[in-house]
């Protein structure tokens, strides 16, 4: 399984996804990122990790992934917990444990937890679409 180069990536609109569906799909994806209950850096690090698991981005550091700079220890703790769930949601969704979600709920609240889990699920969906269709 090779990693597609960026120049090979095709926008979804060009693979003839109906315009209305594409528009609503993109609006929904934006809402998972800009709902402001979860720091953007955490979402981006999770997205990077999920894309790496799917072989869509190269892992470049010793831990296997690059993470954006996190500015506070609270966010660092949230990021670690979020990355655990990001990895499991990609290939071991039944392995996600109550205690892991409880911790995210404690750190982010119910709204943040909904935003994070939804974003992670659809980062995975986006990666699968890109992997299967060759489109993003």
* Binding residues vs another protein (CB under 8 A): 18, 20-21, 24-25, 27-28, 30-32, 35, 37, 93-94, 96, 98, 101-102, 105, 110-111, 113-115, 118
Nearer to another protein, 10 or 93 (CB): 93
CA 5 – CA 9 distance, rounded (Å) = 7
Taking the complex as a whole, the smallest distance from the CB of residue 90 to another protein amounts, in Å, to 13
Contact 52, 65 (CB under 8 A): yes
Q: Which residues lie closer than 8 Å to 47 by C-beta, 6 or more apart?
A: 119, 123
CA 95 to chain CA centroid, nearest Å: 18
- Least distance from another protein to the Cβ atom of residue 6, Å: 26
Question: Nearer to another protein by C-beta: 67 or 117?
Answer: 117
């Amino acid at each position: 399984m090779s990693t597609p180069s960026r120049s090979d990536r095709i926008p979804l609109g060009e693979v003839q996804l109906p315009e209305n569906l594409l528009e609503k799909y993109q609006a929904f994806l934006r809402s998972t990122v800009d709902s402001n209950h979860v720091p953007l850096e955490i979402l981006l690090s999770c997205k990077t990790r999920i894309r790496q698991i799917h072989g869509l981005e190269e892992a470049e550091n010793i831990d296997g992934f690059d993470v954006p700079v996190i500015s506070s220890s609270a966010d660092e703790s949230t990021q670690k917990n979020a990355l655990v769930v990001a990895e499991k949601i990609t290939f071991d969704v039944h392995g996600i444990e109550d205690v892991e979600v409880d911790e995210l709920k404690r750190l982010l609240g119910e709204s943040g937890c909904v935003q994070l889990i939804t974003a992670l699920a659809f980062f995975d969906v986006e990666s699968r679409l890109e992997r299967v269709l060759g489109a993003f």
